[in-house]
Amino acid sequence: MNATNPFRGLLSRLRDRRALPVLFALAFATACATTPPNEADRATETAETPEIAVAQASATDANTDRPIELGLPIDCDLGEDCFVLLYPDVDPSDGIRDSGCGGQTYDTHKGTDFAVASVAELDRGVNALAVADGTVLRLRDGVPDRRLRTAAEIDEIAAQGIECGNGIVIDHGDGWEGQYCHLKQGSVAVASGDRVRRGEPIGQIGVSGKTTFPHVHLTLSRNGEVIDPASGQPTANGCNQAGQSLWLDPEAQTYKQTGIISLGFADRPPTVDDLWDGVFDAPQIDTDAEVLLFWAHYYGVEAGDIEHYRLTDGAGNLITDYEQTIEANSINGLGYVGKRNTPNRPIVPGTWRGEYSLTRDGETIASKRIEFEVRPAR
Ligand SMILES: [Zn+2]
């Protein structure tokens, strides 16, 4: 099937051209905060009102061994319009291991990261939700939204001690605490001491603090010990714990290492930064474009996985049916195929169709298709 890509020459050239920027982006594609709102915030907000003390006392009186039940920290349809990109790192050494014993994490990452496909989606306002009933302990707002792209930018944020960005810490009772990070500047909708209910909006998803992709980070802890919501066990216990998922959402109960973040079309080779920024979320491309590319942004691939692209043009002709083997594990990355515009084989107007799938050990583990309208040149 590999031989059926008439565009292979351009494909490999484009791949060469993008190699550097993509590798660069990947190297920093996974940063996310692990530190809570800083001590200054804590100090000002620990002068708490009496209600908080009462709330905490009554929570502590409750049945101490009942596991907490968690709603999602993001208002979306998990698996459809949002996904988990990173899990807690449950490897106590320098190595990394996520909840499902895969590599969707980085060293010392404490939380679960619920992401959307691009920053552009945040413009419509995606709510962050309280995962359980509780009382707001402390918060921070006022950090600008800026998706980080380089190691220097990440270091700068870390030096300021604002990795969590705009964040909220909620006492969920019984010693449980949730820390929510990277909210949109000015969106924090609760105050210290406020009571919240599970599923209640507490702010909006943003890209503040140490983050290279649009998501909300949730660290769950109990009596100061970080707990993996996937197992209900301390992250220090390692992966694939026999425990019980604390998530109520059935989709969240299933560990999903690999998936498709988004598919789309572009008139130039996209970078991972372009895709996180939503540059090609709704491109206007017509028949005088130099090239037409069908791209896939994926996560959690492993060396040896096979990716398959199939592209048909506006007249229904097969442009390419192309497979290639993924060479290295990666947390997220992109690939594309496409067509150059030539007098003999022009880009035709109409509905183009792209199909993408990932196969592992002979089994399709993710697949998706998309249609795109190429307009006649004016
Ligand atoms: Zn995170």
Give the per-residue SS3 of 180-237: EEEECCCCCCCCCCCEECCCCEEEEECCECCECCCEEEEEEEECCEEEECCCCEEHHH
Residue 113 CA to ligand 1 centre (angstroms):
5
pLDDT of the residue at 251? 95
Residue 31 CA to ligand 1 centre (angstroms):
7
pLDDT of the residue at 294? 97
For 82-116, the pLDDT digits (tens) are 999 999 999 988 899 998 999 999 999 999 999 99
Residue 368 CA to ligand 1 centre (angstroms):
26
pLDDT of the residue at 292? 97
Residue 296 CA to ligand 1 centre (angstroms):
23
Residue 116 CA to ligand 1 centre (angstroms):
13
Specify the amino acid at residue 345: R
Q: Going along the chain, which residue ranges are E strands?
A: 83-86, 112-115, 127-129, 134-140, 166-173, 176-183, 195-196, 201-204, 215-222, 225-228, 233-234, 259-266, 291-301, 306-312, 318-325, 330-340, 350-360, 363-374
pLDDT of the residue at 67? 86
Sheet holding 350-360, edge to edge: 318-325, 306-312, 350-360, 363-374
Residue 47 CA to ligand 1 centre (angstroms):
28
Angle at 160 between CA 279 and CA 123, to 5 degrees: 25
Residue 211 CA to ligand 1 centre (angstroms):
8
Tokens of 115: 């992401």
Q: Does the structure show a pLDDT above 90 at 268? A: yes
pLDDT of the residue at 65? 64
Q: Which residues contact 97 (CB under 8 A, 6 or more apart)?
A: 89, 90, 91, 103, 105, 238, 239
According to DSSP, the β-strands at 166-173 and 134-140 are antiparallel
Residue 148 CA to ligand 1 centre (angstroms):
14
Residue 254 CA to ligand 1 centre (angstroms):
18
Q: Record the pTM.
A: 0.84
Residue 271 CA to ligand 1 centre (angstroms):
22
For 110-150, the pLDDT digits (tens) are 999 999 999 999 999 999 999 999 999 999 999 999 999 99
Residue 100 CA to ligand 1 centre (angstroms):
16
Residue 88 CA to ligand 1 centre (angstroms):
8
Q: Which residues contact 374 (CB under 8 A, 6 or more apart)?
A: 285, 286, 287, 289, 292, 314, 347, 348, 349, 350, 351, 352
Residue 43 CA to ligand 1 centre (angstroms):
24
* % of the chain residues with pLDDT over 70: 83
Q: Concatenate the DSSP letters of all residues of 258-284 into one string.
A: -EEEEEEEESS---HHHHHHTTTSS--
pLDDT of the residue at 32? 62
Residue 4 CA to ligand 1 centre (angstroms):
41
Can you tell me which residue has the tokens 């709510």? 127
Residue 172 CA to ligand 1 centre (angstroms):
19
Task: Out of 1.10.443.10, 3.20.20.10, 3.40.50.2300, 2.60.40.10, select the CATH number for domain 2-26+258-374.
Answer: 2.60.40.10
For 212-265, the pLDDT digits (tens) are 999 999 999 999 999 999 999 999 999 887 889 999 999 999 999 999 999 999
Residue 287 CA to ligand 1 centre (angstroms):
42
Residue 108 CA to ligand 1 centre (angstroms):
10
- Indicate the Cα dihedral angle 73, 134, 88, 117, nearest 10°: 10
Task: Out of 3.30.2020.30, 1.10.3720.10, 2.70.70.10, 1.20.1580.10, select the CATH number for domain 32-253.
Answer: 2.70.70.10
For ligand 1, an ion, list residues with CB under 5 A. Answer: 32, 111, 113, 217
Residues 266, 118: Cα–Cα separation, whole Å: 15
DSSP three-state, residue 349: coil
With bands split at pLDDT 50, 70 and 90, how would you rate the model's confidence at 66? Answer: low
Element (H, E) at 305: none
For 294-332, the pLDDT digits (tens) are 999 999 999 999 999 999 999 999 999 999 999 999 999
What is the domain partition of the chain in residue ranges?
A: 2-26+258-374, 32-253
> How do the residues of the chain divide into helix, strand and coil, expressed in percent and rounded to 5?
20, 35, 45
Residue 218 CA to ligand 1 centre (angstroms):
7
Residue 34 CA to ligand 1 centre (angstroms):
6
Q: Does the structure show a pLDDT above 60 at 56? A: no
Residues 186, 175: Cα–Cα separation, whole Å: 29
pLDDT of the residue at 242? 81
